[in-house]
Structure 1
Amino acid sequence: MGSVVLVDVTAGPGIGFLPMMALGPAFAGLIGNVRRSVVIGVVALVLSLMLSIFNDQLGERRGYTTLFSVAGVAVAGVAATAMRQRREAELASVRSIAEAAQRVLLRPVPRNAGHLRAAVSYTSAMADARIGGDLYEVVTSPTGVRIIVGDVQGKGLEAVETAAVVVGAFREAAYDEKDLMAVGERLERALSRHLSGEKFVTAVLAEVRDGDGATLLNFGHPAPLMIRPDGSVSFVEPPERAMPLGLDLEDGPAPEPHPVPFVPGDQLLFYTDGVSEARDRFNRFYPIDERGDLFKDPDPDAVLASVRHDLADHVGAPPHDDAAMLLLRYRDQ
């Protein structure tokens, strides 16, 4: 506003820079609080009145029009500031609720469970949200450590609600049921009461027993990645592709539990399609099986951080889908 005053005084009354005084109140609504907007509006109006007197426009229609315009923009700026602050407060409240929901739905997994060291990473595709349709959980049961990583079809609150159903059912079934197939059946029954239409959830379940390797049960989910101590990397594919959870198992083959050697030094990476189907600008998928060198760090959390950063570099843009990763490392106690 000072620049407008200087230019208007220097150029004289014939140029007509006075209406530009409304720029101050107009931009005041973008930053600061209501009090700041009121102060800027009052200052702009006072300066406009002084310049109208200086330019001998106070008694003219042009002078009154300018004063009313500046006053109107100032009032609008104050109202816009109040609305922006209210929306910012609402957004902060939503974020707080999302964080609380995340702590309930996706609580931190135990870092150590027997011979296992676990780490997780979760990236939501929604910029203002902390959770989405991907899920994970680790439960120490009487028969061993049981894990689930899954991906709910769709996005938004409906996907979060479905993820909560799956995680809640898994937490109970993983501790109560004697084998993975029974756990999967419990999840299927829980989803049959919740889902409608052709909604579904892809998931991979795993059970690790000391000295007995791992057993996997894959419901149409991307195959986990096995990283051996010698640096070799391979996908742990199921014997046969199976239907996702939530779809009638009679419409397709049911998953079969399949054992996998899992010994000290081995690592198992579970992930969702936000990782495996992430594309770069040339439409190439993220080659997670070519990133074995990223798993050499002794800290599993550092490993996932490296994978997450490498994935972001590959995509070169904000993520289009939620991306969850859970890394299990078998170590000697």
Structure 2
Amino acid sequence: MRIRIPVPRGRREPDPVERRQPLRVRGRDIAWLPPLVVLLAVPVVDWYTSGDFRIISWLVLVPGVAAAVCRVWTTALFAALAMLMYVLGDNSWPHQYRAGLPDFILVALGGILSVLACAVRLRAQERMLHMRAVVDTTRRILLRQLPPDVGGLDHAEIYLAADSEARVGGDFYDIQPSPYGTRVVIGDVQGKGLEAVEAASVLLGTFREAAYHEAEPATVAERLETRMVRHLRYCEHVGRDDAERFATAVLLDFPDLRSERTDWGPDLTGLDAVTVDVVNFGHEPPLLVSPDGVRPLPLWDGLPLGLSELAPMPPRAATVRLAADETLLLVTDGVTEARDGSGVFFPLRDYLTRALAAGPPVLDPGSLVRLVRDGVLAHTGGGLDDDTTIFAVRRASEPMRRGPGAAQRAS
């Protein structure tokens, strides 16, 4: 389960070598400490045992512990120290029973096997880190990092992957400014795995092109449907078993937020509210969160992307007005279908209503998505059965100009 939150300025992500070290205190590696404790503890305990019962051969545990937490050369060093400590301990008290050569061979063989096991462990970790880097790169390409106030919109998003190792799934979202208005999309591809990721990437690529070049949101919606159908036909042609996949989505169009081709921040001066055209492809309806409460947007019901052949009809857009103090909350079914231990679905609207009534209104996108995230995780006990995306957007409080130079707020 992963939360997609940018790393604050001044902080850096952990280096892969640092992440590989399981024992660190204040940035310092202390992986050598557990095998050292075992190395010193075994002779001390052996001193207090009776003459007929020796535990000096337990030194074989030393390289085994080191193999679990240390590097190869450190494990080899502890294996050598264990053999040396065995020889010293076994010969230091002649009045006691001596384990002798057989147990020495046991300690030596345990050290050799521990070094080999450590090498295998580190190679597997390197492979895992490499695969994780590939997945992270795929995620950054698929779900690109959006600049603040893009297209005249404040936004915040949190993505929780049901598969904590995969860290990416079929949920997708994006914001695309254009000369015809700012367009927003959020969706969920049916199913999981790399096939769902591929379908999501296909839809996002089409959205980014169509949302910029097409003047009408209905045309953008048609382009998305056409591309999904083409993708499914290709899967059928090559004999893949995901030819019946579909995707739910919501397309938002803000025609008042038109921007020049070199300006990602339209001027909102004098606008009390902005118009939003919403096309729904069988997705969860967006919730409008305002100081007066929470309500779903009245939308036309549409078929999910990829199913237009079942009932061919042009997409229909519903038009609403979004005031400056109102925020649109969009989620995937990982939120609304999240269950607790009794199988009860997460009551998103009731939860938000109670949260807003209990304290000051939480209307900014960042606080709103964190509120929903905390509620979902508390409802499910921290486990998720499906990928979950929480996305909030509202009109920017101030215009943001982004030309060739650095971004700065207009004064």
CA distance in 1, matches of 2:143, 2:123: 29
What is the aligned length? Answer: 328
8 A Cα contact 1:226 1:269, kept in partner: yes
SS at match of 1:142: coil
CA distance in 1, matches of 2:101, 2:93: 12
Among 321, 325, 329, the residue aligned to 2:386: 321
- CA drift of 1:100 comes to 2.5
TM-score (norm. length: structure 1): 0.88
Among 261, 272, 281, the residue aligned to 2:321: 261
Among 298, 303, 306, the residue aligned to 1:246: 306
8 A Cα contact 1:12 1:55, kept in partner: no
The one-letter code matched in structure 1 to 2:346 is Y
- Pairwise CA RMSD of aligned residues? 2.6
8 A Cα contact 1:134 1:151, kept in partner: yes
Of stretches 195-204 and 252-261 in structure 1, the one that deviates more from structure 2 is 252-261
Aligned to 1:45: 83
Q: For each residue in 1:202-236, what CA deviation from the matched residue of structure 2 results, as whole angstroms up to 9, or x when unmatched?
A: 11111122266211111111111111332x21122
CA distance in 1, matches of 2:186, 2:316: 17
Aligned to 2:349: 289
Aligned to 2:250: 204
Tell whether 2:137 aligns with 1:93. no
Runs of at least 4 residues off by over 4 Å:
54-57
Tell whether 2:79 aligns with 1:18. no
The one-letter code matched in structure 2 to 1:296 is P
Q: For each residue in 1:97-152, what CA deviation from the matched residue of structure 2 results, as whole angstroms up to 9, or x when unmatched?
A: 33322222211234324553222222222223443211001111222111110111
Aligned to 1:221: 283
8 A Cα contact 1:38 1:74, kept in partner: yes
How has the CA–CA distance of structure 1 residues 184 and 114 changed in structure 2, closer, same or farther, with 3 Å as cutoff? closer
8 A Cα contact 1:117 1:329, kept in partner: yes
Tell whether 2:179 aligns with 1:142. yes
Tell whether 2:142 aligns with 1:83. no
CA distance in 2, matches of 1:239, 1:85: 55
- Equivalent residue runs for 1:104-253 within 5 Å: 104-113=141-150, 115-195=152-232, 196=235, 197-210=243-256, 213-230=275-292, 232-240=293-301, 242-247=302-307, 249-252=308-311
Q: Percent identity?
A: 35
In structure 2, list runs of 5 or more residues that go unmatched: 1-38, 236-242, 257-272, 399-411
8 A Cα contact 2:278 2:319, kept in partner: yes
CA distance in 2, matches of 1:296, 1:116: 19
TM-score (norm. length: structure 2): 0.73
Tell whether 2:96 aligns with 1:31. no
CA distance in 2, matches of 1:56, 1:194: 80
